[in-house]
Amino acid sequence: MKTYLGIDVGSISTKLVLINEQGQILAHFYFRTGGNPIKAIQEGLKKLKNQIEKDNLSVQISGVATTGSARYLAGVITGADLIKNEITAHAKGTSFLVPDAGTIIEIGGQDSKIIILENKVAVDFAMNLVCAAGTGSFLDAQAFRLKIPIEEFGRLALSSKSPTTIGSRCTVFCESDMIHKQQIGHRVEDIVAGLCQGLARNFLANVAKGKNIKEPIVFLGGVSENIGMRKAFEKALGQKILVPEYNTVMGAFGVALLIKDNPPSQTKFSGFEVSDKDIKCTSFDCKGCPNQCEVIEARIDGKVIARWNDRCGKWSNLAVDV
C-alpha cells in the first residue's frame, strides 16, 4: 500500500506521522528532540520501522515531507520530496480533521502561533519567536521551580478556587512574582492556576493581538495536553476550545497530507537505513560578498549531501558528492 510520511522537527519535540492514500493515520510518534535533531530524526525512523514490522504492514513510502524549525535539516537527511512551513502544515492537518475550523492556537516548546482559517485556508497568522513567556518551556520551567511534575500541572490548576494573579509577560518577572506569592502564603494550586491564566492572557495580548478570532477554536501543540491551559483559554475568550485527536502531531500530519495530495513520480526518500549512518552538520562563513552568509553543510558517511542557507545560491547550487 502507498503511504506518505510527514516529519515535524521542533526545538523541543519531534513528530512523525505515516498515512495511507485515504489520509488515515497508520502510525504516529511524539518524543523529545533532546537538543539533537539529527539523532531525533534517526530515532524516529527506527521507531517507525519497528512499528511497521510489529503491525505486519506492507507499505511503500511514496512521498516524504518535513516541517518545523529543523525542516531543512530533516529534509536533507531523509531525502524529503517537500519542505513546508509550520503555518501551512498545521492549517492543512487541522482543516482535514476539523473542516469548519476558524482559528488555530498552537503552543509548542519554544514558540507559539495563531492561525486564522477561511474555507480551510490560512488567511492570517502571527508567531511569537523571541520570548519564552507563553510557551511550553515557560510552563516546564515554572513546574520545575515548584517541584511539580508537568503532567500534574493541569489537574492542580483545575483544583484551584482562587487563582493567584501573576505577571506572566516576561519569564524573569514571572518567576520573581511567583516566588513573592509563595512567600506570602499563596497555595500551590492557586499559583499554578494563575500561571495558566497568565500565559493565556499573554498569548491573547501579544500573539493574537488584532486577530479576528473565530469559532471553532482549535488548540494544538504539546501545551494543549494541559487541561489547565484549555480552561484558561476558555475563560479568557468566553468560548469553547476544541482539542482534536492527534493534537500534538498535527504539523507532521499536515505535511503528510500535502505530499499525498501532490505526490512525486518517484520519491527521494533516503530509506530507513539512514538511521544507522554517520550524519554530521557543520557550517562555514562565505567570504564571497558583504553578506558573509553562514553556509550549512551536511555529510552522510563523510560525503557532502547538501549545502544551504546562502542567499545567492553559490554553495547550495554546487554539485555534491552523492
pLDDT in tens, 7-31: 999 888 999 999 999 999 999 999 9
Domain 99-239: CATH superfamily is: ATPase, nucleotide binding domain (3.30.420.40)
Buried b / exposed e along 67-106 (16+ C-beta atoms within 10 A): bbbbbbbbbbbbbbbbbbebbbbbbbbbbbbbeebbbbbb
Average pLDDT over residues 33-38: 91
Question: Does residue 251 carry a pLDDT above 60?
Answer: yes
Quick one: which H or E segment has residue 4?
Answer: strand 2-9
Q: What CATH topology corresponds to 2-92+252-276? A: Nucleotidyltransferase; domain 5 (3.30.420)
Render pLDDT for 259-318 as a digit per residue (tens, 0 to 9): 999 999 999 999 999 999 999 989 999 998 998 999 998 899 988 888 888 888 888 887
Q: How does the average pLDDT of the chain come out, rounded?
A: 90
Question: Mutual orientation of helices 188-206 and 136-146 as an angle, nearest 10°?
Answer: 160
Helix and strand counts by DSSP (H, E) for the chain = 9, 13
- Please report how many Cα atoms fall inside a 13 Å half-sphere around the Cα of residue 28, on the Cβ side: 20
Q: What pLDDT is attached to residue 205?
A: 85
User: Residue 80: what residue type?
Assistant: A
Tell me, yes or no, if the two domains 2-92+252-276 and 99-239 fold the same way. yes
- Please report how many Cα atoms fall inside a 13 Å half-sphere around the Cα of residue 171, on the Cβ side: 16
Average pLDDT over residues 153-170: 83
Q: Which three cell numbers stand for residue 216?
A: 471553532
What are the residue ranges spanned by the domains of the chain? 2-92+252-276, 99-239, 278-322
Which letter does DSSP use for residue 225 in this model? G
Render pLDDT for 175-230 as a digit per residue (tens, 0 to 9): 788 888 888 888 889 988 988 888 888 888 888 999 999 999 999 998 899 999 99
Tell me, rounded to whole angstroms, the distance of Cα 78 from its chain centroid. Answer: 18
Whole-prediction pTM value? 0.89
Residue 190 CA: distances (Å) to CA of 49, 154, 174, 230: 45, 12, 14, 16
Average pLDDT over residues 118-130: 88
